[in-house]
Every structure is written in structure tokens, then in C-alpha cells.
Amino acid sequence: MLIRNLALKSIICHACHHTWTFEPPLGRRDECPACHIDCRVCLNCIHYDPGAHHECREPQAEWVRDKDSGNFCGYFSPKSDKAQTASATNQHDKLESLFKNDSKPSDQEEKKISSLDDLFKK
């Protein structure tokens, strides 16, 4: 008797944000049941990062040209919840807030800025 691994996994579609469960492995031509686009794509992988080298955080993965087309990457691991898809956005927002300068210059700084502006006016 053959015993099958019934450990179901979930995935969230990068295009329509539909979440569903599947029995691994996810094939290269498997599709999202809601929007019918390829689901084994870089955009659905937890390693996908637009700011990383080759847009992938897995250092040994080969470069994939079409991030939204099915591929054979051996490092593919599906994003399984909306928190994972939003994590990159949240990290980007945190970095922006670190470097954002909302403070107004003091009066003394204003005077220095205006004197520099006067100095370099044409």
C-alpha cells in the first residue's frame, strides 16, 4: 500500500490575491483556479524580492527572465498568506520613514539657507 503525503499547502495568487490549497508539488503549468494564470512563478514565491540580485533572495537560484511565467526553479516556495506579500511593502515603508525628513528648519537654519540662496542667485 502506497502512503501519500497529504500535507496540503496554501498559496496566494500574485495577480488576483485568491488563496487556495494544493497538494505538493506544484507543477510548472498549474494555474490559479480563480484567474487561470500560471501559479508556479517568481511573483508567487517567498524568495521574490524586486530589490535583490536577480530579484531573488535565494543566492543559488538561476536568473529567471519572466517573473510571471511558469518555471522550473528548484527553490520555489509559495507565498501562503497576505502578510508575506505585504512584508516587502512594509519593509520598504519602514526604510522610507527612517530617511524621510519632515522636520522644518529652525530660524537659524532658514537664515543660512537664504544667505546661500542669495549668494548663488544668478
pLDDT digits (tens, 9 = 90+) for 26-68: 888 999 999 999 999 999 999 999 999 999 999 999 999 999 9
| Domain definitions of the chain by residue range | 1-81
Is this model's pTM higher than 0.75 or not?
Answer: no
DSSP state of 117: H
The C-alpha cell at 102 is 519632515
| Kind and range of the H or E run holding 19 | strand 19-22
Label residue 49 exposed, middle or buried (CB < 10 Å: 0-12, 13-18, 19+).
middle
SS3 label, residue 56: strand
Model confidence at 92, in pLDDT bands (50, 70, 90)?
low
Of 14, 42, 16, 10, the closest CA to residue 28 belongs to 42
Provide the mean pLDDT of the chain: 83
Tell whether the model's pLDDT for residue 94 goes beyond 70. yes
